[in-house]
A and B are shown apart, each in its own frame.
Chain A
Amino acid sequence: MDSDMEISLDRLPIKRLESIEENGAERFPSDVNYDDKRVSLIRRIDFAWALEEEDELKKKKQKKSSKESSEQWQWKGMVENLQLAHQELSVIIDLINTVEANDAVTVAGMTKPKPMPNELLSDLAVSTATKLQSYRHLGKYFKQSAKALEQKVNREARFYGALIRLQRNWKVKRQRVLASNASNEGFTIDLSDSSLYDPTSGFRPSTLSTIRVEHDSAGMLAINLPQDSWYSLRFGFVGLNSIDNPNESAEHIDSTTGQDTTSEKLSVSDEESVKETHSLLREVHKSIFAEQLFDMLNREAFSEGVGFSISGIRENFLEMSIGQGASLFVSLYPSGKNASIKKSESAIVPMESSGGIELVEGDSRVKKLGFPSRASYDIYLQQIFHEHVFGKAKDQTKSKSSQASNQTAKDNNSGLLDHFCLSLAHRIFSTRVVVQLESVVCKVPYLHLISHPTWNSRTSSWTVCMTVPPSIIPQGSSETQSLDGKRNLKTQFRTKVVVKDDCISVEAECTPNVVGLLKSSSCNLFSMNKYECDLADLPVIILQQVTSQIVCWLLEEARTVGTKASRDFLSLSLEIVEGERVSLVAQVNPEDAKGCISWWLVMENGCTEERKGVSESRKLLGHLSLDVLYSVLMDLINLCGSGRNPLDRL
């Protein structure tokens, strides 16, 4: 440069007034930031001089070159031109760099050179290719998402299909889950029954009653429950081992409720998995009921009851003695695969309360003790509890006012456990009664035992039936008839045995009642009497009753012929001649294995004048069937007419 370097000085950062208005407000120039300052500096660069100079230089050069061409080196002009061009270019490059780096300065306008046709075509080709590419992308994207959506739809169809099938039987509820946990849409299965829950009785829904519905690895509906989390009720007699039938069903369930994540799940069809889930839900539902039942038993155990007394309480275990030498326990034990199953073939092992099974030693022991079948009483207990709870719920829905709460407060102790224990005790007792009755009836061939259903769990009744041979005496020749004009033809004698709780009562006619003999007339003979007895005496009582009936029958037969006969406890006396009596006397022995009733023929000679008393001679006839007995009687009656010594005849 020929000219001198110019230096510009920044102004001091003292604000200079730009203007003052009339009202005295002062106006300062606005702050210029650094970029703006540079911009203004750049703007101040005046390139006009460069252009002018360039022109001048060019002119000068032309002049000079024409003037001094001979004097100087012939390239010197070119060098100088190039140097000048270089400097100008460097200025422009700096400007461009500044513009590029500086956002504040933008290019105002640019003129494009006119495009050539091949450039146009290539641009078009490029844009078309890009469009095609993006179409292809889009197409691929749509197809992929179609496939993914189809898979998702199928998965969900399985899940929701299973859920709908379960919904037919169980209550399915949903909570909108706010968290973005996609694996759980918040479905639960509610197993509690809110109509049964009465706040005053303190029933709480168990922890099992809400079950979450989840997805398994294949997206199918799955329910994951730990294996030991549900219970079943167990019931048994202390000291007595029995094969537990419910555990067989528990094993069956174990084999089907395995929600393991093994690969065998893949081979299970949707149907089967829904069925398995359904079975699992059934088990849990039953377990909730068992828990409620046990809860109620626990509560009732603390109230006073006639039929039971608690002898042991542990967690999930209740033991009580119910009389009749039996001790009962009720326990909740976890069912599921992890329940330990022990089988021992050794002698009787005392029963543990936590899910062990031992083999039975023999049914004979059960029968001997007279304990009823476990399963039947398990069912009975569940039934009465269920009816009670259900009935209470029904009552509540009918009377929704505060009357219901008063009623439930009174009925809190419903006496179910009491009733149940009494029923059980009665059953044990009546089994023993049956054993005794059977022992009698089996030995005497002309007795039959009939049992009657009573539809009451604490009452049982039987009839001992005896059929006598029909009378051979024709009706017309009877002289004595009973007072009511009808002939007392009996072909069947019945003895009714009724057991209520543990009282035995016997009801029959022709009771061997000593008092009744004092005024014996025919009408009183066949009157019904009812009396009570003990278990130990029962066989003898029955035999005596039956024998007395036989005697009455024989008496009646004898009387219809006109023979003078009388009855004395278990003997029938016929008067042969004056003072001489022949008697048929029965001997009753329940232990006798051949037949419990044996007959003696006793000949009394009462008209002796010696004061030794009545002389007797006896002959044992043995066990006689009724036909034989009847013919003996007929023979005796014939002898009564002829007056001979009957003993000689026999």
Chain B
Amino acid sequence: MDPQTQNTSLQRLQNVERRVVRVLDIAGGVMDELASPSGPKKEFVNSHCREFMQSMKDIQVTLREEIKSACEYRPFEKCDYNARIANEICLQKLEYVLTQLDDLKQTADRYPSSS
């Protein structure tokens, strides 16, 4: 996995989840291979097991990093709900001004422009 594509910890954690799924898949594949009637192919099993172990290691490393770098949860210090209400009021003002301007335009259009 290209490390540069995962620039947020969220993406990294999502990647970890995908890896876990893949690991389970690999395990299933190995089991199936072992259960094959003609006997397991050694290289297949080996390669899969190697991939399995590598993925587990990567998952561990990533999780450890994320846990170390996760910041403490702080309750909300600043709340922007006031500004939000002010925004809503401004939006209403804008809408009102727009209707006024539309009315003005309609009035102006009624009179032919004189040079």
Other-chain contact of B89, A136, A150, A373, A379 (Cβ < 8 Å): A379
Establish whether residues B25 and A142, one from each chain, have CB atoms under 8 Å apart when the complex forms: yes
Establish whether residues B82 and A135, one from each chain, have CB atoms under 8 Å apart when the complex forms: no
Of A192-200, A434-442, A528-536, the one touching chain B:
A192-200
Q: Which residue on chain B has the smallest CB distance to residue A390? A: B82
Other-chain contact of A143, B25, B95, B96, B99 (Cβ < 8 Å): B25
Q: Does B17 make an interface contact (CB < 8 A)?
A: yes
Establish whether residues A135 and B18, one from each chain, have CB atoms under 8 Å apart when the complex forms: no
Contacts A133-B35, A282-B88, A286-B88; is A153 near B79 (CB within 8 Å)?
no
Contacts A142-B24, A146-B25, A383-B89; is A375 near B96 (CB within 8 Å)?
yes
Contacts A143-B25, A157-B14, A171-B76; is A376 near B31 (CB within 8 Å)?
no
Q: Does A141 make an interface contact (CB < 8 A)?
A: yes
Q: Does A487 make an interface contact (CB < 8 A)?
A: no
| Residues of A in contact with B, size category | 35 or more
Q: Does B10 make an interface contact (CB < 8 A)?
A: yes
Interface string of B60-97 (1 = CB under 8 A from A): 00000000000000001001011011101100110110
Please, which residues of chain B bring their CB within 8 A of the CB of A289? 85, 88
| Residues of B in contact with A, size category | 20 to 34
Establish whether residues B28 and A285, one from each chain, have CB atoms under 8 Å apart when the complex forms: no
Please, which residues of chain A bring their CB within 8 A of the CB of B81? 191, 193, 285
Total number of A-B contacts with CB less than 8 angstroms?
97
Q: In residues 531-575 of chain A, which contact B (Cβ within 8 Å)?
A: none
Establish whether residues B37 and A132, one from each chain, have CB atoms under 8 Å apart when the complex forms: yes
Chain B nearest CB, measured from A167 CB (Å): 11
Q: Does A313 make an interface contact (CB < 8 A)?
A: no
Please, which residues of chain A bring their CB within 8 A of the CB of B82? 193, 195-196, 386, 390, 393
Other-chain contact of B31, A142, A285, A375, A383 (Cβ < 8 Å): A142
Please, which residues of chain A bring their CB within 8 A of the CB of B33? 139
In the docked arrangement, what's the CA distance between A191 and B34, Å?
A: 57
Q: Does A265 make an interface contact (CB < 8 A)?
A: no
**Chain A facing B: main interface SS:** helix
Q: Which residue on chain B has the smallest CB distance to residue A249? A: B95
Chain A nearest CB, measured from B63 CB (Å): 15
Establish whether residues B35 and A139, one from each chain, have CB atoms under 8 Å apart when the complex forms: yes
Please, which residues of chain A bring their CB within 8 A of the CB of B24? 142-143, 145-146, 149
Establish whether residues A150 and B21, one from each chain, have CB atoms under 8 Å apart when the complex forms: yes
Q: Does B20 make an interface contact (CB < 8 A)?
A: yes
Q: Does B27 make an interface contact (CB < 8 A)?
A: yes
Q: Does A306 make an interface contact (CB < 8 A)?
A: no
Other-chain contact of A132, B18, B35, B85 (Cβ < 8 Å): B35
Contacts A146-B21, A285-B85, A379-B96; is A135 near B31 (CB within 8 Å)?
yes
Contacts A194-B79, A390-B82; is A136 near B17 (CB within 8 Å)?
no
Q: Which residue on chain A has the smallest CB distance to residue B10? A: A164
Chain B nearest CB, measured from A293 CB (Å): 10
Q: Does B32 make an interface contact (CB < 8 A)?
A: yes
Establish whether residues A382 and B28, one from each chain, have CB atoms under 8 Å apart when the complex forms: no
In the docked arrangement, what's the CA distance between A554 and B21, Å?
A: 100
Please, which residues of chain B bring their CB within 8 A of the CB of A376? 96
Establish whether residues B28 and A146, one from each chain, have CB atoms under 8 Å apart when the complex forms: yes
A positions within 8 Å CB-CB of B: 132-133, 135-136, 138-146, 149-150, 153, 157, 164, 169, 171, 191, 193-196, 245, 249, 282, 285-286, 289, 373, 375-376, 378-379, 382-383, 386, 390, 393
